Amino acid sequence: MKNRAVNSLLQSSDLEKIATPAVRGKLLKLGISRSEDLLTFFPVRYEDETCVFKIAEAPQREPVQIEVTVIQAKVEFRPRRQLVVSVEDATGIASLRFLNFYPSQQRMLEAGVRIRVVGEFRMNRQRVREMVHPRYKKISAEDELPTTLTPVYATTKGLGQASIRKAVSRAFAVADHSDTLLPFHLHELGLPSFFETVKTLHWPQADVDPALLQDRRSEFWARLSFDELLAQQLIMRKNYDKRELYSAPIMSPVNQRMELFFSRLGFKLTNAQERALSEIQADMSKCLPMRRLLQGDVGSGKTVIATLAALQAIDAGYQVALMVPTEILSEQHFKKIEDWLTVLGISVERLTGSLTKSERNQATEKIKSGVAHIVVGTHALFQGDVVFKNLGLVIIDEQHRFGVKQRLALVDKGADKLNQTHQLMMSATPIPRSLAMSFFGDLDVSVIDELPPGRIPITTKLVSNSRREEVFQRIQDTCQSGQQVYWVCPLIEESETLQLETAIQTHELIQAQFPNLNIGIVHGRMKSQEKAKVMGEFTRGDIHLLVATSVIEVGVDVPNATVMVIENAERMGLSQLHQLRGRIGRGSGASTCILLYSSKLTDTARSRLKIIYENIDGFEVARADLQLRGPGEILGARQSGLPMLRYADPERDVLLLAKARHLAPDLLTNHAELAERHIDRWYGSREKFSEV
Ligand code: ADP
Ligand code: MG
């Protein structure tokens, strides 16, 4: 943060009353800029300093507190310089050892001083009980033992526990800790009051079970989770309702070109596709801007639905932008959509970073004049110089690869602010219901939960690297029978160059292995044209085996490819593996995905591969991934634009989430002031996140 911003934050904040400027600066680093933020900054664990043990009775190898008198403190060399302090109580003597110490410490620990010490006892070689580097403090006769557990907070360099504790105590005295839920809400939800929650979690009474608090199983943690989820739901709901302030073009779903489209399509939509389509059609025929997320596992057929939505917009006289994250995907979508729509008299344009200057000028000219009806493109689409004549629908494929800002940059190209474009976002990474409810609560969701008929489920095989030879044999057979193969090179996170080298080496190796086959290679460093050329050859069947880095992860559709080999599969994320695997099994032939793993697998790696091996359903994979790695991969770029949860876990707290979702609209309508205060308490001090 800029210094000026920091200063203004510090000045405007009520923290002034409770902390010195130095402490306030540190607190800011922890995201704390108001005294209210300290209330909701909860300890990560607790220490029990409420009772003392006698030296002779204290258990060993677990944290205990003793109250003792110093006999002597002396510096010893054995062989390192260290401070050894002998102490005693009525039951015996013990030794405290400090490897790093200040001279002042030695002076303070003079004979006769009473100290309270927290540490773990072990027997030293002299068979004396000893603590190494214990915490201690000097006490006087009237120092009573605390009656509450001692909170330990996550902190930052230069900010000690004592300072945070003091700040929290003072905040508790000045900040507003009145409840944002009404008594009857609490009663209905079976949750404790905010005041009681704050008090208990910062200063638990000695008789509560610290394990219960630490594992976050207590009702007080439930209250926090609920509050946080509620704040999130309130924000989402407000965003959702904000739509009512705008209008959007009304697009009728009835048109003749649709019939022609279907007659040429060559397949019937699945029931799930029909359902999703009619939801989208209904949205677009209203004068409210559509904000719909279309979810469907890889291969479930989202593209055709997107194309039908586009057709509806074009028929109503509007332009459509379809944005995808990679050149390969944009090329592929372009070809497919061109094939589907050109015969209907629709002009399909493309706009990617790889166009020459004059190609680009031509394209932007057509977009500006309205000659282009639908534009398929990459990030190039939302650049400043791209102007639409009348953009009415924005479709974002693989939405998790785009940030909120990027999406808004494209959406803002719509005709005017009040008459907004419809938005359709698509995701092939299935989002578990809990996450959909929490992080996507501001969107309507359609799910395609059925694959087109006739698909034979993909068989997944786990093969140790030491058995590569057998894999080669398999490939020979596959290619001879006229089918094609993907060979995916390992992901090398440390170095893109290394990854490239591996891909090139693998390519050479495989070429040598199969002199009779045509082997292609595609990777991220290739020019777009080269990439497109290779993908074209692979799609036509001229290339038998395609060596690829993970650039083919999203969206590529070559039905004749029936085998995929993934090297070092253990290095990849589960969702990514699932996406990759989804490139095969798209035709009517049986498909096999071979996961090669290095022979030395860790237990975690093994159990992760087992999940991919056992689950063909993307939702199951995503759920397992969520448990293993948290929501990062699933949320993708979206999380940068949204307030993250600190205490709640949508998956674990799914019941609370459902209740929060239920309460949010009620609170906004009937107790708007409480709702605002609730949002402010939980998210008020953080950076304003983008409107979605
Ligand atoms: P994804 O949802 O992963 O984007 P695609 O839209 O690429 O999936 O569709 C995968 C393949 O299935 C494409 O070749 C597409 O033409 C085909 N497809 C889509 N819907 C159907 C259907 N109802 N019946 C048969 N094939 C379909
Ligand atoms: Mg797709």
Quick one: 518 and 610 in the same domain?
Answer: yes
Residues 164, 140 share a domain: no
Domain termination residue (choose one: 593, 615, 637): 615
pLDDT attached to residue 418: 73
Position 25 pLDDT exceeds 80:
yes
Kindly write down the DSSP assignment for every residue of 41-90, as one continuous string: ---SEEE--S--B-TTTPPSSSEEEEEEEEEEEEEEESSSEEEEEEEEET
Indicate if 444 and 464 belong to the same structural domain.
no
313-355 pLDDT per residue, tens: 999 999 999 999 888 788 889 999 999 999 999 999 999 988 8
Average pLDDT over residues 584-604: 87
Question: What does the pLDDT read at residue 687?
Answer: 45
Residues 25 and 167 in one domain: yes
Instruction: Please give the average per-residue pLDDT across 421-432, as a whole number.
Output: 87
Q: Closest-lying ligand to the alpha carbon of 267?
A: 1
Question: What is the pLDDT confidence band of residue 375, given thresholds at 50, 70 and 90?
Answer: very high
Q: What is the mean pLDDT of residues 176-198?
A: 94
* Cα gap 315→291, rounded to integer Å: 20
Q: Extract the tokens encoding 276.
A: 């999703």
Residues 289, 242: contact at Cβ < 8 Å?
no
- Write the residue with the smallest CA distance to atom 25 of ligand 1: 452
Is 219 contained in some domain?
Answer: no
- Residue 258 CA to ligand 1 centre (angstroms): 18
| Ligand 1 pocket test target in 264, 303, 619 with most atoms within 8 Å of CB | 303
Neighbours of 673 (CB within 10 A): 9
Alpha helix positions (H), 66-193: 103-108, 161-174, 183-189
Indicate whether 224 pLDDT > 90. yes
Whether 213 is covered by a domain: the verdict is no
> 574 in a domain, yes or no?
yes
Average pLDDT over the chain, rounded to an integer = 87
Which CATH number belongs to the domain containing residue 331 in this structure? 3.40.50.300
* 309 plus 332 within the same structural domain: yes
- Residue 630 CA to residue 620 CA, distance in Å, equals 14
Q: Is the pLDDT of residue 2 over 50?
A: no
H helices within 481-571, ranges in order? 496-513, 528-540
Tell me which ligand sits closest to the C-alpha of residue 539. 1
Q: Using one digit for the tens of pLDDT, what is the confidence trace for 89-148? A: 999 999 999 988 888 888 999 999 999 999 999 998 888 999 999 999 899 877 888 889
Give residue 691's pLDDT.
46
Strand 592-597 to 459-464 pairing: parallel
Residue type, 307: T
Model confidence, pTM: 0.75
Task: In whole angstroms, give the CA distance from residue 125 to residue 635.
Answer: 55
Q: In this structure, are 512 and 384 located in the same domain?
A: no
Residue 174: count other Cβ atoms within 10 Å of its Cβ.
14
For residue 133, is it left (φ>0), alpha (ψ between -120 and 50) or beta? left
CATH of the domain at 65: 2.40.50.140
Mean pLDDT along residues 258-267:
92
Ligand number nearest CA of 336 is 1
Domain final residue, candidates 572, 597, 615:
615
pLDDT at position 690 is 38
- Domain identity same for 494 and 563: yes
Q: Which pLDDT belongs to residue 553?
A: 58
Instruction: Spell out which residues line ligand 1, taking CB within 6 angstroms.
Output: 267-270, 273, 296, 298-304, 428, 452, 555, 557, 559, 586
**Both 422 and 306 in a single domain?**
yes
Q: What is the pLDDT of residue 415?
A: 64
Write down which residue in 448, 467, 501 finishes a domain.
Answer: 448
Q: How far is it, in rounded angstroms, from Cα 164 to Cα 306?
A: 53
For the stretch 32-73, pLDDT in tens is 888 899 999 999 888 888 889 999 999 999 889 999 999 999
Percent of the chain having pLDDT more than 90?
Answer: 51
Residue 399 shares a structural domain with residue 490: no
Q: Which residues contact 256 (CB under 8 A, 6 or more apart)?
A: none
Least confident of 99-113, 575-589, 635-649: 635-649
275 and 365 both lie in a single domain: yes
Query: How large a percentage of the chain has pLDDT more than 70?
Result: 92
Give the Å distance between the CA of 452 and the centre of ligand 1. Answer: 7
Q: At what angle do helices 603-614 and 618-629 cross, to 10 degrees?
A: 160
DSSP string, 409-452: HHHTTSS-SSBPPEEEEEESSPPPHHHHHHHTTTSEEEEE-SPP
Q: How many Å lie between the centroid of ligand 1 and the Cα of residue 612?
A: 22
Q: What pLDDT, in 10s, does the model give residues 444-469? A: 999 998 888 888 889 999 999 889 88
Domain membership flag for residue 251: no
pLDDT at position 640 over 70: no
Residue 541, judged by CB atoms within 10 A of its CB (0-12, 13-18, 19+), counts as middle
Between these two residues, 645 and 595, which has the higher pLDDT value? Answer: 595
Beta-bridged to residue 370, according to DSSP, are: none
Report if residue 395 sits inside a domain: yes
Which of residues 290 and 557 earns the better pLDDT score?
290
Residue 346 is assigned to a structural domain of this protein: yes
Considering the domain architecture, whether residues 26 and 102 belong to the same structural domain is answered as no
Number of domains making up the chain: 4
Tell me what pLDDT residue 400 has.
78
Q: Domain for residue 625, yes or no?
A: no
> At residue 688, does pLDDT exceed 50?
no
Residue environment code for 311-336, b if the CB has 16+ CB neighbours within 10 A, otherwise e: bbbbbbebbbbbbbbbbbbbbbbbbb
- 658 or 622: which leads in pLDDT: 658
Give the model confidence (pLDDT) of 125-142 as tens digits.
888 999 999 999 899 877
- Is there a contact between 474 and 487 (Cβ–Cβ < 8 Å)? no
Claim to verify: residue 279 and residue 358 sit in the same structural domain: yes
Which residues form the domain of 500?
459-615
Residue closest by Cα to atom 16 of ligand 1: 301
Predicted pLDDT of residue 13:
64
Could you read off the pLDDT of 469-482 as tens digits, one per residue? 899 999 999 999 99
Partners of 122 in the β-ladder: 130
- How much is the pLDDT for 689? 44
Considering only CA atoms, which residue is closest to atom 12 of ligand 1?
301
* Residue 2 burial (CB count, 10 A): 7
Token pair 């001279």 is at which residue? 103
Q: Which residue has the higher pLDDT, 235 or 323?
A: 323
Residue with tokens 């300290």: 38
- Whether residue 624 is contained in a domain is answered as no
Tell me the CB-side half-sphere exposure of residue 121, using CA atoms within 13 A. 19
- Give the span between the Cα atoms of 289 and 225, in whole angstroms: 32
CB atoms within 10 A of CB 135: 14
Q: Would you state the structure tokens that stand for residue 225, as one six-digit string?
A: 């989770």
